[in-house]
Every structure is written in C-alpha cells, then in structure tokens.
Amino acid sequence: MEKGKNIKVGIGFATGRKSFQKVLRTYIYNWNESGLVENANINLNLFVAYDLNYNKTSVSDYTNIHPELAEQIDSSTFIGSACIKEEIEYLNRENIITAEEAALIFGKGYAAKRNSILYYALKNKIDYLIFLDDDEYPLAVTNTKNSAIWGGQHVLSTHLANIESADITHGNHCGYISPIPHLSFNEKMSENDFRTFIEAISNDIINWDKIISVMNNGGVTYADTGILTSNEAVEVEESKKTKFISGANLCINLKNPKRVYPFYNPPGARGEDTFLSTCLSGRKVLKVPCYTFHDGFSTYNSLLSGVLPTKLKFIEANNEKIIERFYKACIGWVRYKPLLVYITQPEIYEETMKDMHKKLEETLPKICDYFQHPEFMSILGELDKYNKNAKKHFIKFKETQDAWEKIMNHFA
C-alpha cells in the first residue's frame, strides 16, 4: 500500500436484503479492529446499489445507518433508480453515450447494479474498489477433529496490501458456496446420472471433482489452513481465454479508468463475474489469502451476533426451499453457459451445445423424478433459447464494453 498518500477506498454492496445493516455493522467493526478506520492515510467510502423489489424492502433499510457506525466511514453513496436515471440523463445530455448504450450498462440485473457502483466510484475518484456481498461475512471456518473452528478475516486490509501492483485481486470463499445439497443416490438417479447432468450445465470452475467433495461435506466448503497461514498472493493463470475471479471478496484497481471493464450478463442470467473474467487476458489478477464465509442458505445470521456454531448443518434435499434454490442455480448456469462457450471456445461451440442438449435430454427426467420437481424439465428449453441467442448476446456483450469505454474516456 502506498505510503504518505491519501488513498480513497470504495466499498461496494449490490444488495436487496433486510440483513444488509447487520452485515455492514460487522464489516465496519472489522475495519475498525484492523486499524483501517484510524488510519489517516485511508478514506473509506461506502457505495450501496439497492434493489427494493428483491425482498420488498424500503430505502431506509439501506440508508438508515446508525450514527456511531456512520462516523467511522468517510462517505456513503446510496444508488437507487432515481440516481441512475439522473446520471443517464447527464451522459445523454453531454453526448457521452446514447440512451440505448446506457441501458446496456445500467439496465436490469445484477451486472447493472455492479456497474452503477463502478461508475459512482470512478466519478468520485476512488483508487481501489472492493465488492462485498450481503450474505458473506469476514470469517473463515475450518473442520478440525469434527468441530468447526472459526477465525476472523481482515478482508479489506489483505486486498489493500496487494491491489497496488495488480489490476484485480480476489479472495477465497468458505461456507455454503455451492447451491447443490447433499444427495443420497438411488435407483431413481445414480451418481453417474447426476454427474452427467452437472457436467452438462457447469463450467470449468464448477467441476464435478469440486462438487462431489463439497456434497460429501454436506454442502459445506471449509477454509484451507495453508491459505489461512499464508501471506502470499498467487497470480491467476489464464485458462481457455479466462482468468477466473469471484464476484465478491473482489477488489478492482480504478487508478487508470481505461483498464477497467464493465460487468455483463445475458438477460435473466448471472455469471457477471465469469464474463468479466474473459476480459482479463492483458490484466494482472492476484488471488489473495483471505476468506469470507458465504451464508448461501441464510441460516447463519447469528454469526453476525457472535454465535459461533461448533458444527455446520448438512444441507439435505429434503425441503422445497433448498430444492428451489438448486433449481434456480441450474437455470442461471444453463442461461450463461452458451455465451461463455461462444466467447472462450468458438471452434467447438456447436458441438458443445449438441452434447449439452443430448445429456440434458437423458438426465432431466431422472432429475425431475428424484427431486419431485417437474420444473427441472424447463432447463432444456432455457438451453435452446440461450443457444439460439448466443450471437446476439455476444454482440450486446461487446457493445456494453464499447459504451463503457466512452464513459472511461470521459472520466480519463
């Protein structure tokens, strides 16, 4: 980290949960404990892009920060639809981008929320921007002698120690990262059936070996003690035109706006971090030794109040909420895989899509029967739809980057 300079740090949350205030409180205490709040060389600036429809929340659920906490950060920017509308009107008025281009960057979806945070951070001349999720906490959990052992993590400090020499830093994740519950295979669906299904819809970072290991742990990913005791960041190597990053526990160097790319996802899909990963060929990306605990099923809010369980629950496919979450994750994966293959492996695109279709035709009836959830059959239709539109989505992906470049030139 630079010495003797005033470093402007942005902390970005794209959120829609009522639990946001609890998560923010925990992080502010964490920044205080790690010495960042008292460091006169560092300005901490909060950027919150909120979605009122996701959980039927109100603006005050995000803006009503306790005064004692608010005074520990230097500024807070809350980004709602009215703010974005004003910025779009400004960008149009100044002939920087058109209304159609603005819709690509600031339209609907999770990528748009992240882009609005990126935009405001750059507008406010932030040096480094870290993205945090509202269901991830600055904790690491390991499994030692059949007991969960917890440790605090200085997430922001770790990124700031490494980001000056990189374009992007991203950390590690533990807890309930995978939406796939623990399964007991039977005559309705064998392990081979499920493996075929997962390999059809997943990408290089969601592979079977990782998934079966997590499933055997009851859906829990434990932190690696080797990483926890390391001070070394590791450079991320390129694989199939991609340097994989995570969407949160992610820090972006904003000092040169022209080196910053926007987020993108196909309509109704996720994968905005994966598509950003495909843009990083000429960028330095580091994986840094810190963890966040992902509370993927919203069952461990008590962690934010200091309650540390000694055992983590197995996530079994025995209730509708867990099955529905897995189903929605599958829909999200299958919606963005066609574009991902189109970008990274265009030479085998048609062959890959045919193979996916064949494997899904074979396995989806068994998936439906096993989970007693006939909606899984719709995955095949989603594949066909997003396969058909892959070229169109690729054009929009490139147009989003072109529009963003115009804004970056304006900022530069």
pLDDT digits (tens, 9 = 90+) for 147-206: 999 999 999 999 999 999 999 999 999 999 988 888 999 999 999 999 999 999 987 666
Does the pLDDT of residue 396 top 80, yes or no?
A: yes
C-alpha to C-alpha distance for 310 and 304, rounded to whole angstroms: 15
Closest by Cα among 48, 301, 22, 11 to 160: 11
The pLDDT of residue 219 is 86
pLDDT digits (tens, 9 = 90+) for 15-61: 999 899 999 999 999 999 999 999 999 999 999 999 988 878 999 99
Give the pLDDT mean for 393-404.
Answer: 98
The model's confidence at residue 2, banded by pLDDT at 50, 70 and 90, is low
The mean pLDDT of the chain is 93
Closest by Cα among 68, 55, 69 to 11: 69
pLDDT digits (tens, 9 = 90+) for 289-348: 999 999 988 889 899 998 999 999 888 888 898 999 999 999 999 999 999 999 999 999
Which domains does the chain possess?
Answer: 7-411 (3.90.550)
Least confident of 82-86, 136-140, 311-315, 364-368: 311-315
- Which parts of 145-207 fold into alpha helices (H)? 155-160, 191-201
The model's confidence at residue 278, banded by pLDDT at 50, 70 and 90, is very high
Give the pLDDT mean for 74-97.
Answer: 96
The model's confidence at residue 233, banded by pLDDT at 50, 70 and 90, is very high
The pLDDT of residue 4 is 52
The pLDDT of residue 139 is 97
CB burial class (10 A; 0-12, 13-18, 19+) of residue 87? Answer: middle
The model's confidence at residue 270, banded by pLDDT at 50, 70 and 90, is confident
The pLDDT of residue 301 is 85
Strand partners, 316: 182
Pairing of strands 285-294, 136-137: antiparallel
Token pair 């909060």 is at which residue? 46
- 3-state SS class at 50: strand
Higher pLDDT pick, 315 / 117: 117
CB burial class (10 A; 0-12, 13-18, 19+) of residue 226? Answer: exposed
Give the pLDDT mean for 109-134.
Answer: 96
The pLDDT of residue 291 is 98
C-alpha to C-alpha distance for 44 and 346, rounded to whole angstroms: 42
pLDDT digits (tens, 9 = 90+) for 359-368: 999 999 999 9
- 3-state SS class at 328: helix
**Rounded to two decimals, what is the model's pTM?**
0.95
N residues, the chain:
412
% of the chain residues with pLDDT over 90? 81
Give the pLDDT mean for 266-274.
Answer: 91
Closest by Cα among 70, 139, 143, 172 to 302: 139
Amino acid (one-letter) located at 230: S
C-alpha to C-alpha distance for 399 and 264, rounded to whole angstroms: 10
The pLDDT of residue 208 is 82
- 3-state SS class at 340: helix
- Structure tokens, 20: 């946001």
Q: Are the beta carbons of 266 and 281 closer than 8 angstroms? A: no
